[in-house]
Amino acid sequence: MVKEKKIPLVDYKLCMACRVCITACPFSCLEADKTDIDSYRKAYPALVRPETCTGCGICAKSCPIDVIIMVS
Amino acid sequence: MRGYMGKILVVDLTAGTCEVEPVPDSVYEKVLSGVGLGAWYLTKNIPAGADPLGPLNILGFTSGLLTGTGSVMTGRWMVVCKSPLTGGWGDSNCGGNLSPAIKQCGVDAIFIRGQASEPVYLYVDNKGAEIRPAEKYWGLDAIEAEKALIHDNWNKKKPAAAVIGPAGEKLSLISGISNDLGRYAARSGVGAVMGSKKLKGIALAGTKLVKAHDVDGLKALSKEYANKIRKANAPGILKGALMPVLGKVMGSMKSVSPIDGMMTSMLLKKWGSIMNNTMSVKNGDAPFKNWGGSDKDYGRKYYKSLNPDKFIAREEQKYHCYSCIVGCGGICKIGDLKDGRYPHTHKPEYETAMCFGGLLMNRDTDSIFYINEVCNRAGLDTISVGGTVAFAIECYENGILTETDTGGLKLSWGKASEIVALVEKIAARELGIGDLLADGVKKAAEKIGRGSEKFAIHAGGQELPMHDPKIDPMLGTTYSTDPTPGRHTTSGGLYYTTSSLWEKVSWLPPFRKYSKSEEYEPTEVETMKNVAYTAFKMIVDGTGGCYYAMLMGVRHFKIFEFLNCATGWNKSPDEYIEIGRRMQTLRQQFNAKQKVDMASFKMHDRAIGIPPLEKGHNKGLSLKIDEHIRLYRKCWGWDEETGYPLESTLEEMGINGLLNEGVLNG
């Protein structure tokens, strides 16, 4: 049976744009690329290389405030 | 599982070797990681009298004990070395993204020994470390070099890189080390040390995990802190034009009360450190005209150029360092300046704005943005460059430098075109005036002579930051006694009022409202506040903590609790402060071993208030600096005359034993 691949989903209402998930990703799938979230024009993490994401979940585990979940 | 990796990477560029060495747990428990680990390794291994630009100096890149553990606001890295600028202990602290990258390579620090014969860079990933040729990067500016290093070494994991620019290559003593395209470890002349080793950069692509004792506890603390920061937003009514008014109110206060540090977070979120610009003009914090002028010289028609709203008008997006939940930085567009030579620059910090604003009587905002990028690309410390340009202008005005000396530049206060041209000459270390000034004011004055030293404003060779100690004697004592003199981040009276340290440290007296004039009297009570805050700063520098988080105070930035969760040590704040005291004394012991003349660290008379200013906010103010210095040393257990730690203090703090721990390499 093939295990379903999961990818990170960021809760932008709570994310603080701290970039910990971006640094933690072993394959550099995430970048601070999403700038349309708030009036401060902060750059939030976005999955810019989904093809290299293995669904390992390291990004979610590393998030200091637990605002990333892994979804199918 | 104590937050640290328990190992260091030692690279010998002369021998061409890279070795990973274990570090005893007891070292971390006594001096943490970061600057403490660096002070431990360097004090052990750099022989007395080593040439700062020679092969016996050691350059260390250290991460923080809390970096990567689940704590927030703890992602800073520190460079350590023997400083070529002061001749003593050198360190410099930086944000960006290098600190976690060091730990992801499986070590807490990378120490570079020896000297390469040709330009090299260091590459490290999970498989190990390798010294590689760097001819193709040598000569590139810091921004282009970092981009190229990352591009060429990006396999699975995008590397984090730290580099020097051409200024570091040319051994400018006021050069720094950059990461994240212009975030600088700028002070102490660390760039020149890297240049002397012919090390253009380091590229780190490890993916190892950092393990902590209680991750859930760390995250709970981070969430609590994040909730407070999320809600801290400046009201819309607060515009930049109001900041001088706020500064004037602050500056007129005759008494001192505790301040809730969370207030600073809303201002930092809105503006970043430039929130201070015009506020500092009016509250006595900012120096003017090479420390010889006052706010009366820099009136509204000048200071409106430093309105923070004017600065963020160029900001395209906010910038966060690793693990930062505030985001005080910004990426600014400057493509309209100088024929679009540079598209972007990091938002100038307060220090840069004031160094190239009030200190030079400049009111051309665009020139400050442009100079910021010139310095970032060359790899220069903007504080030292600003101070050096101010020195040159005053020498020119007094006939000590002439148009012939300056290569045709007609220097004068506030003349932006000449200031920009002079900075470009320093950045290029252009033969003549550029070369003369590229090592800072002390060296320049030694070469020029003819009375120029009275215009060379520094402490122990390091140009002073943009905070006038005449309104903050604790700050002035730090400028004149810290192992790295002339530094504004180590301690200060205003910082103490926001720290809420007295709520955690049992031996500190409860904060009572007191008269500002009490700070000017050298007393043990005031001095012990300085000791406590400095020790706190050492803890912050041992953990990778952010200076602005520190300003929010331990009530909000729960660094002691973070440390206990990460390490499982379960120490009290008092015990951590003892660790901080040990770290500071170890930094000072480095200077003792190097036989640094600590008397030379006393700041310039203008900063002391000799003679006092005759007008402006700081009119008549003068510090009893010698008495402050003596009392400060006494309270640390250092010799009151030489400044060196007493043998009894070294024994009591276990420093002699500590220096015998681990593998001896010296």
pLDDT at position B56, please? Answer: 98
The SS3 call for residue B610 is: coil
Question: How many whole angstroms separate alpha carbon B584 and alpha carbon B56?
Answer: 23
The SS3 call for residue B573 is: helix
ipTM reported for the complex, 2 dp: 0.97
At B316, which helix (H) or strand (E)? strand B315-319
Helices (H), B544-641: 547-552, 559-567, 573-593, 605-608, 625-636
Fold classification of B470-658 (topology level): 1.10.599
Do B7-204 and B234-463 agree at the fold level?
Answer: no
Nearest to A18 among B101, B219, B324 (CB): B324
Fold classification of B7-204 (topology level): Aldehyde Ferredoxin Oxidoreductase;  A, domain 1 (3.60.9)
pLDDT at position B664, please? Answer: 42
**Which chain B residue shows the shortest CA-CA distance from A64?**
B70
Contacts of B340 (CB under 8 A, 6+ apart): none
Spell out the domain ranges in chain B.
7-204, 234-463, 470-658
Task: Please report residues of B whose CB lies closer than 8 A to that of A20.
Answer: 68, 75, 100, 322-323
pLDDT at position A5, please? Answer: 86
Amino acid at B365: T
A-interface mutation test, from B63, B66, B325, most A Cβ less than 10 A away? B325
Question: How many whole angstroms separate alpha carbon B597 and alpha carbon B635?
Answer: 20
Contact between chains at B323 and A18 (C-beta distance less than 8 A) = yes
Q: Which position has the token pair 């500002």?
A: B516
Nearest to A64 among B219, B230, B316 (CB): B219
B-interface mutation test, from A14, A20, A36, A66, most B Cβ less than 10 A away? A20
Task: Please report residues of B whose CB lies closer than 8 A to that of A37.
Answer: none
Nearest CA of chain A to the CA of B227: how many Å? 9
Work out the pLDDT band at A3, boundaries 50, 70, 90.
Answer: confident
Nearest alpha-carbon partner for A63 in B235, B487, B72: B72
Task: Please report residues of B whose CB lies closer than 8 A to that of A28.
Answer: 154, 156-158
A8-66 pLDDT, tens per residue? 999 999 999 999 999 999 999 999 999 999 988 899 999 999 999 999 999 999 999 99
Half-sphere exposure of B34 (CA within 13 A, CB side): 33
Task: Please report residues of B whose CB lies closer than 8 A to that of A26.
Answer: 156-157, 207
B234-463 has which CATH code? 1.10.569.10
The Cα-based distances of B531 to B89, B492, B626 in angstroms read 19, 10, 17
> Given the DSSP bridges, would you call strands B462-463 and B458-459 parallel, antiparallel or unpaired?
antiparallel
The SS3 call for residue B514 is: strand
Nearest CA of chain A to the CA of B188: how many Å? 28
Nearest to A23 among B97, B269, B316 (CB): B97
Contact between chains at A64 and B209 (C-beta distance less than 8 A) = no
Q: Residue B28 is encoded by which pair of tokens?
A: 């971390």
Q: A-side interface with B, Cβ within 8 Å? A: 14, 16-20, 23-24, 26-28, 32, 35, 40-43, 52, 58, 62, 64-66
| Chains A & B: contacts with CB separation below 8 Å | 83
pLDDT at position B663, please? Answer: 53
Which domains are assigned to chain A? 7-71 (3.30.70.20)
Low-confidence residues of chain B: pLDDT under 70: 663-666
Backbone angles phi, psi at B258, to 5 degrees: -65, 145
Q: Which position has the token pair 């990477």?
A: B9
Contact between chains at B157 and A27 (C-beta distance less than 8 A) = yes
Question: How many whole angstroms separate alpha carbon B330 and alpha carbon B314?
Answer: 9
